[in-house]
Structure 1
Amino acid sequence: MIEKLRRAEGVNLCLEGEGFSGGRPLYLEVDGQAFRHNIKRAAEISKATSLMVVLKANAYGHGLIEMARLAGQHDLAVAIPEEMRQLREAQLANRIWVLEGPFAKACIEDTSNVIWVVHSLWQLALFENQTQASEYKVCLKLDTGMNRLGMNSEDFALALKRIESNQYLSLYACMTHFSASDLPGGEQVDQQLQRFNSVIQDIESDELLLSTANSGGILYYPHSHKDIVRPGIILYGAMPSPEKQDQNFDLKPVMKLKSAIMAVRELSIGERVGYGGRWRASRESRIATVACGYGDGYPRHAPDGTPVAVFDSASQSFVRAPLVGRVSMDMLAIDITDIPSCGLGSPVELWGDYIKADELASLAGTIAYELFCSITTRVPRLLSGE
């Protein structure tokens, strides 16, 4: 795809080119090169440990199939069977882990190169009650303190016996999920690791894979890496916790939400902006309207002063301008009084290279995960750096 943004005053502000229909200038750039870089960084941080590329929820809003095709030969991980089927229909041959396991017998009809995570005995029964003779590889999930999914130690022991006695079931791996690995120095991670190790230590298998480390475990708890790690949010260039948004692990943003200024207003002292008039001009001001709103996925609760990057033609660089007034469904406003070279058609970045998603999410009272997953279908997408 090739995008072109007309910036000269007096022409329409349309994106043109393959994949664009000549609409408003808002679009989402997904940087494939940055994604591959982040996979490499996750592998380097976890050293010799293998990794699965977590692609659940449409690859955190980035595009399931597109990101899967950039993952190389790594194992892939999705949340639900429907996501696994999408990958198979797209001819992806990688091994796929289904992290929530099956929900019904129909889910496990296609088992080729699939690892089914089993978190409950009722799921194990789905495999045992299959009428056709097929071999199933399963990963037993142990609940060590998340109290969400996973077996307790008694059910886990029972599941091991049932798998051992079933000729069609093969125990491929065991895993658990940390509840507080997004920050370093937490005692809960070590407590969960101790519970996990105490339960699986008696399993007699030289080939059994163990998996405990999610993104936070990879970054902050190297003793949790074990055989295969499960990076999620860090593959997309954000941090597990917004409290650590400035910590440099050499991760690159993959999602970049871009637009342009579509109108400029000159305001006198005392004039207000937006619904409810939340923001009031304390000086004569130049206010720019940007083509992006909560109907596109920008957080409605972003407060006044939230930074938006706008291109300054004088310095030939992106500079920060503050958000003013409430975010509307289709647009938002920024104060460009101190950037006189900005005007109609000036390019804008809502988050990406110049405004980190973690920073915006923190100001809006949410997390980067939600920002990424909130982009709506009306926003055109551009895959770059393939």
Structure 2
Amino acid sequence: MKIALIRKKALIYNIKKIQKLTNNSRIIAIVKSNAYGHGSKFVTRTLKDFVDYFGVSDIEEAHKIVDDGIKNSIISLMGFINYEELKLASRLRLEVVVHNHEQINILEKEKIKFPIAVWMKINTGMNRLGFLPDQAIKIYNRLKKCKNVRKPINTISHFSSANIQEPYLFDFTQLQLDRFKKFIIDKNGKNSIASSSGILFWPSSHLRWVRAGIIMYGISPKFGRNGREFGLIPAMKLKSKLISVRQFKLGQTLGYGQNWINNRKKTYIGIVSIGYGDGYHSCDSKNSWVLINGRRVLVIGSILMDMIFVDLGERLCDKVGDEVIIWGEKKFPIEEAFKGHDVSCLYRSVSQLTSRVKRKYI
């Protein structure tokens, strides 16, 4: 009943659009978290001839992609956490991000089958992972001397606020970019700082390598704008069914704790077969909508494990069995379903869909 349609043509179209936006920079396609809920096996097989690299969170995700038969280079963005993971990464010929001293100590101390390509992470201001600029040269030189590291050394960083245009954050993004560019002068390896927001809003950050994440799936990383405004197409359409329609009188309540009260003379309430057990949630408790019979319908009350309530209005227009578009229709992308929500809601909504939602690849 709950189906996520994943569109092959949309994925390919979006990648080609990103290539144009970046003046044909080389693309690292980010497929972590099961390709943002779209299915890593399908996405990697669809895009393997259009991108150079795939990027994943960790060694476990990378191993799965290798087992799926993908031959492209793969980067583990969190690197490795111990010697066992390093040995596996070496055996699988993965590339790893190096972001802490413990990783370097393991690289210098242990033996591995093949030297491994590393991406040294520079903490230009995100303050999440990586080495501060004043430590970076020393770390870089250690990696250059390490026999387990394949040369040249690659470098990577991450913007904290490239999708926000307020002056002080704009200036900070420029500062991050300046720090990164200063470090990579005269260094021979690959360099990447632009992910989805950098690709769309900071052309000077593209360099030769970009990391396409949420925009690859047709979703905007900027609050208040949708992917269509950047020429992107939603790769996922999520749909379900109405399983109940009831008339509510003035003052009637619904749900646990009676947390919704009808304040009209009458209205019709529908129940849709989807809930937090499927990965659907209310994010930051703001209004959300679905599409039924061509019109936007407000989600009301609490999100249940298997169901949501929707206010169908005062006229009876809908019936049990009618299709409900949760998001992803051409004129109803996910940004419209969660309009007014923080962009992190969009990332969570696609990435957290559970196995109860059937993926259908078209």
> Shared fold by TM > 0.5?
yes
Which amino acid in 1 is paired with 2:337?
L
Is the Cα contact below 8 Å between 1:301 and 1:327 reproduced in 2?
Answer: no
Match of 1:225 among 194, 203, 206: 206
Give 1:356-367 correspondences, 5 Å limit: 356-363=333-340, 366-367=344-345
**1:379–1:130 distance in 2 versus 1, CA, 3 Å:** same
Residue 127 of structure 1 aligns with which residue? Answer: 107
Report which of the two has the higher share of helix. 2
CA contact (8 A) 1:272 1:281 kept: no
**Aligned equivalents of 2:106, 2:327: Cα separation in 1:** 44
Indicate how the Cα distance of structure 1 residues 337 and 163 shifts in structure 2: closer, same or farther if over 3 A, else same.
closer
**Aligned partner of 2:39 among 63, 66, 89:** 63
Task: Give yes or no for contact 1:237–1:251 (8 Å, CA) kept in 2.
Answer: yes
> What is the aligned partner in structure 2 of residue 117 from structure 1?
97
Partner amino acid, structure 2, of 1:38: N
Structure 2 counterpart of 1:148: 128
Are the aligned partners of 1:236 and 1:254 in contact in 2 as well (CA < 8 Å)? yes
Letter in 2 for 1:344: V
Q: Aligned pair in 2 of structure 1 residues 309, 255: CA closer, same or farther (>3 Å)?
A: same
> Separation in 1 of the partners of 2:244 and 2:322?
10
Q: Match of 1:315?
A: none
Query: 1:181 pairs with 162, 173, 184, which one?
Result: 162
Give 3-state SS (helix, strand or coil) of 1:266's partner.
strand
Contact 1:94 1:113 in 2 (8 A): no
Rounded to whole Å, the distance in 1 between the matches of 2:16 and 2:242 is 36
| 1:114 to partner: Cα distance | 2.2
2-structure distance, mates of 1:279, 1:322? 14
Aligned pairs (5 A) from 1:317-332? 318-332=294-308
The 8 Å contact of residues 288 and 338 in structure 2, kept in 1 or not, is answered as no
For structure 2, the 5+ residue unaligned runs are none
2:281 to 299, 312, 316: 299
| 1:288-338 CA-partner distances (Å, limit 9, x unpaired) | 211112222221467686321012xxxxxx221222332222111222236
CA root-mean-square deviation: 2.1
Q: Secondary structure at the match of 1:248?
A: helix
| Residue 282 (1) aligns with residue 264 (2) | yes
Offset of residue 171 of structure 1: 2.8
Matched position secondary structure for 1:87: helix
Which residue type is aligned with residue 330 of structure 1?
D
- Equivalent-residue separation in structure 1 for 2:283 and 2:27 (angstroms): 36
Identify the range of structure 1 (184-193 vs 74-83) with the bigger mean alpha-carbon deviation.
184-193
Alignment correspondent of 1:345: 321
User: How far apart, CA to CA, are the structure 2 residues paired with 1:343 and 1:152?
Assistant: 59
Shift of 1:222: 0.1
- Native 8 Å contact 1:279 1:304 kept in 2: no
Secondary structure (helix, strand or coil) at the match of 2:277 reads: coil
Structure number with bigger Rg: 1
Deviation per CA, 1:141-178, whole angstroms, max 9, x where unpaired? Answer: 11111111011234321222223223442234211110
Cα deviation, residue 92, structure 1: 0.8
2:48 to 72, 81, 85: 72
Which residue is equivalent to 2:178? 194
What SS does structure 2 have at the residue aligned with 1:285?
strand
Change (3 A) 1:304 1:268: farther
1:40 is displaced (CA, Å) by 1.4
TM-score by length of structure 1 reads 0.85
Moved more, 330-339 or 168-177: 330-339
- Residues 9-38 of structure 1 show CA distances to partners (whole Å, capped at 9, x for unaligned) of xxxxxxxxxxxxxxxx22222222212211
Whole-Å Cα distance in 1 between the matches of residues 114 and 249 of structure 2?
74
Counterpart CA distance in 2 for 1:178 and 1:134 is 32
**C-alpha distance in 1, partners of 2:175/2:282?**
38
2:241 is matched with which residue: 260, 277, 300? 260
CA distance in 1, matches of 2:265, 2:190: 63
Identical columns (%): 28
- Written as runs of structure 1 = structure 2, the 5 A alignment for 1:85-104 is 85-104=63-82
* Contact 1:242–1:359, Cα closer than 8 Å, also in 2: no
